[in-house]
Structure 1
């Protein structure tokens, strides 16, 4: 793997990526918490807005189980873009500067093109997953769809439709892994450097490849915290989304020189 990745580095002029210890994700969360506490007025609006948006989306999808599951998965796909302003807050905090919520939004204009290109990639991934989810339900699911309130227990935990559950988890897992590998630190890098979206994505892929265990743990932490947010009817997202956004900035700073 080293030789192909080295040639990839040269082709895309990738920055140096560090090896980090598996204990670092907890430190990223700690530093993210400190950033959020120091910038509550700027950080919490992101959590409030995204939690409210998520609640509206889930309410719309409540009677469409295939769309409901795709909507939950979609949070993992759009998260890096949604947190772009939070990266700017942490970047300023690192410099000892303060920034308001509106100023953090305005800062996105300086990186609008590269962030928009990457956002288009995430949007395509989200739309593709929604369509694949619908197709898998149509082709493999047997029986009547349960109400959303007991959907997961009756479909994924009942032992019925095992072929559907396996295929759904496999396809969704592969897509999620690819998107995570390409986006784990890409948006923070775009907010921090004058670079293009392809280079940022390849740097993220390089960082995940070099720190597979650490980044797998980081991905598991993100999934767990987002699921907690859903379990609390999006209320927990008000805190958890800003926390993850700030922590992702510190992950980027440690992984990329």
Structure 2
């Protein structure tokens, strides 16, 4: 731990020379499943918006795959999909807004969800740029892996396996880094209107303090993504909005607030 941070038994980071760190609560292993149940309730209350967001999150990987296939570089299909996963937390702002509106007993709308990005625009776009930088860096690493593939080899599983294995390991590392940086960062920025450094450090503190429950949550997200891949992205129609709604409830459950929220 850097000398700039103080540690306590309850929080990995409680003070920083960079920004304020909002304390987090202690989670239990059952909490991620509770978030999923609350996410299901939100989906049932806003079925049209859920379908809308689900179709968007399904169309994006379809489009990426189509563009990659046009190039003939089949080895970069998976890295391109990982790019979608990297910027997913940023794109999910609209779904967080739906859950937030439902908690206020308001009727959510697509236009209100689109405008959610403007609540803390500078810092939210800053998060988007950060994720885009990670995406570009990942693409560069993926292109290096692709460049190492000898052109004279047939593209069969035996020849492709070492390169797919390396790409998978590196992609998993990038994905875990993004989770550590952005599991709840977007909801923090939306509701608290804090600066990006505060949101990032608060999120990192929450993940670090609640390692086991948050790793379970990351595993649940991974399973949802794998199901989406197995169904040629059709599963994303339902799974991506569910994860988005559940993430909002995870944020509400995890990050402390000085006073009780009036919409709870």
Question: Shorter-chain TM-score category?
Answer: 0.7 to 0.9
Distance 1:85 1:170 in 2: 30
Deviation at 1:34, TM superposition (A): 0.6
- 2:35 corresponds, among 3, 19, 28, to 28
- 1:239 is aligned to 238
Per-residue CA deviation, residues 36-90 of structure 1 (Å, 9 max, x unaligned), is 1111122221111221122111111133223201122123211101110111111
RMSD, aligned α-carbons: 2.3
Distance 1:155 1:140 in 2: 8
Mean CA deviation greater in 92-101 or 60-69: 60-69
Between the two proteins, the alignment pairs up a number of residues equal to 247
- 1:93 corresponds, among 97, 102, 116, to 102
1:162-241 map, 5 Å: 164=163, 167-241=166-240
Mean CA deviation greater in 96-105 or 1-10: 1-10
- 1:155 is aligned to 160
- 1:51 corresponds, among 31, 45, 58, to 58
Deviation at 1:215, TM superposition (A): 0.9
Deviation at 1:9, TM superposition (A): 3.0
Give SS of 1:98's match: coil
Per-residue CA deviation, residues 182-217 of structure 1 (Å, 9 max, x unaligned), is 100000111111101121111111111011111111
Conserved in 2, the CA contact under 8 Å of 1:65 and 1:145? no
Give SS of 2:14's match: helix
Question: TM-score w.r.t. structure 1 length?
Answer: 0.88
Distance 2:222 2:176 in 1: 12
Per-residue CA deviation, residues 206-235 of structure 1 (Å, 9 max, x unaligned), is 111011111111111111111211221221
Conserved in 1, the CA contact under 8 Å of 2:64 and 2:81? no
Give SS of 1:218's match: helix
Which consecutive unaligned segments of at least 5 residues does structure 1 have?
none
Question: CA 1:141/1:251 → structure 2, altered by over 3 Å: closer, same or farther?
Answer: farther
Conserved in 2, the CA contact under 8 Å of 1:41 and 1:100? no
Distance 2:255 2:177 in 1: 19
**Bigger fraction of residues in helix:** 1
Give SS of 1:10's match: coil
Conserved in 2, the CA contact under 8 Å of 1:35 and 1:246? yes
- 1:131 is aligned to 140
Question: CA 1:176/1:24 → structure 2, altered by over 3 Å: closer, same or farther?
Answer: same
Question: CA 1:46/1:145 → structure 2, altered by over 3 Å: closer, same or farther?
Answer: farther
- 1:146 is aligned to 155
Question: TM-score w.r.t. structure 2 length?
Answer: 0.85
- 1:116 is aligned to 125
